[in-house]
């Protein structure tokens, strides 16, 4: 697989939907520790809407296609992570405007815009124990893969690994945003549910392309 086409994207969204549904209880549990416990439900809802939209919209322009999915997600689950994921897809889609197939380079650009879009919306940066701590290393891994002319499968494999490592690395961080921030030092050592959702997103991309 040298490029990702629309049908591949549909598969990817199908895969993420399943993964989020399978991990619902796990995310609920993680978000219950220092949050309101809704993350499993909202991710399930968001990506169910994403997969449904992917199956129904017509656009050949993959940029528009992804942006519309983002907009559908924003409606589906307006929680923090629901909105941030939606923002990521909208901002990531924007940089793909006009493209009908995506190279490893495009995918790297997509994830950089995705991660930067979340940072801008969330007024945050790496190191604050958020989804960004999974997504920023993801984007970097994809940029490296593109530079080294890696295949899409290998690039997304690196990216998924980077996201998983990002989740681990964020454990010792102190939460600065959202409900977890109210817990101050008590958040240190706890796994961030948003970063976890970020890694699951990458798992979906990787699983779908490596099938």
Partner 1 sequence: MKKIMNKAENFVDEMLEGILAAHPKELKITNDDLRCIVSANKTDKKVGIATGGGSGHLPLFLGYVGDGMLDGCSVGGVFQSPSADQMLEVTKAIDSGAGVLYIYGNYGGDILNFDMATEMAEMEDIKVVSVVAGEDVASAPKGEEGKRRGVAGIFYAFKIAGAKADELASLEEVQRVAQKAADNVRTMGVALTPCIVPEVGKPSFTLDETEMEIGMGIHGEPGIRRGALQSADDIVDEMLFPILEDLPYVEGDEVSVLINGLGATPKEEMYIMYRRINQVLNERGITVFKVYIGEFATSMEMAGASISILKLDDELKTLLAKPAHTPFFEQKQL
Residues that bind Mg ion in the complex, under the rule CB under 5 A: 31, 35-36, 38-39, 79
Q: Would you give the end-to-end CA distance of the chain in angstroms? A: 11
Q: Which does 132 bind (CB under 5 to 8 A by kind): Mg ion, ligand ADP, partner 1, none?
A: ligand ADP
* Sign of the alpha-carbon torsion through 59, 65, 68, 72: positive
Shortest CB 186 distance to partner 1, Å: 8
Contact window for partner 1 (CB under 8 A) among 6-14, 93-101, 132-140, 171-179 = 171-179
Q: Which residues, 6 or more positions from 13, have their beta carbon under 8 angstroms from its beta carbon?
A: 47, 50, 51, 54, 69, 204
The nearest distance, CB 155 to ligand ADP, in angstroms, is 24
Q: Distances from the Cα of 171 to the Cαs of 8, 166, 186, 199, in angstroms?
A: 33, 9, 11, 14
Query: From the CB of 165, what's the least distance to Mg ion, in Å?
Result: 23
Binding mask 122-161 for partner 1 (x = CB under 8 A): xx--------------------------------------
Q: Which stretch binds ligand ADP (CB under 6 A): 15-23, 48-56, 109-117, 128-136?
A: 128-136
The one among 16, 28, 35, 65 contacting ligand ADP by CB under 6 A: 35
Question: Does residue 38 belong to the site contacting partner 1 (CB under 8 A)?
Answer: yes
Residues in CB range of 72: below 8 A, 6 or more apart? 49, 50, 52, 53
Using the rule CB under 6 A, is 179 a contact of ligand ADP?
yes
198 binds partner 1 (CB under 8 A): no
Contact criterion met (CB below 8 Å) for 70 and 87:
yes
Interface positions, 69-88, toward partner 1 (CB under 8 A): 71, 74-75, 78-80, 83-84, 86-87
Quick count: other Cβ atoms within 10 Å of Cβ 210?
13
- Tell which residue, 46, 48, 42, has the closest CA to residue 18: 48
Q: Half-sphere exposure of residue 12, counting CA atoms within 13 Å on the CB side?
A: 19
Q: Interface with partner 1 by CB under 8 A: which residues?
A: 32, 36-38, 71, 74-75, 78-80, 83-84, 86-87, 121-123, 177-179, 181-183
């Amino acid at each position: 697989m040298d490029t990702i086409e629309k049908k591949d994207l549909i598969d990817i969204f199908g895969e993420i939907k399943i993964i989020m549904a399978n991990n619902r209880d796990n995310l609920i549990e993680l978000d219950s520790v220092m949050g309101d416990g809704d993350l499993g439900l909202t991710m399930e809802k968001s990506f169910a809407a994403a997969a449904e939209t992917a199956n129904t919209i017509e656009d050949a322009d993959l940029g528009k296609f992804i942006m519309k999915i983002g907009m559908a997600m924003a409606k589906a689950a307006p929680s923090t992570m629901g909105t941030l994921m939606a923002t990521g897809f909208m901002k990531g889609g924007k940089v793909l405007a006009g493209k009908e197939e995506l190279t490893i380079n495009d995918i790297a650009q997509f994830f950089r815009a995705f991660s930067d879009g979340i940072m801008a919306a969330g007024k945050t940066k790496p190191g604050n124990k958020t989804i960004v701590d999974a997504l920023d290393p993801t984007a970097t891994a994809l940029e490296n893969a593109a530079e080294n002319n890696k295949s899409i499968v290998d690039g997304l494999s690196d990216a998924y690994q980077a996201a998983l490592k990002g989740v681990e690395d964020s454990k010792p961080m102190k939460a600065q945003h959202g409900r977890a921030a109210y817990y101050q030092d008590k958040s240190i050592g706890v796994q961030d549910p948003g970063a976890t959702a970020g890694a699951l997103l990458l798992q979906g991309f990787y699983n779908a392309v490596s099938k």
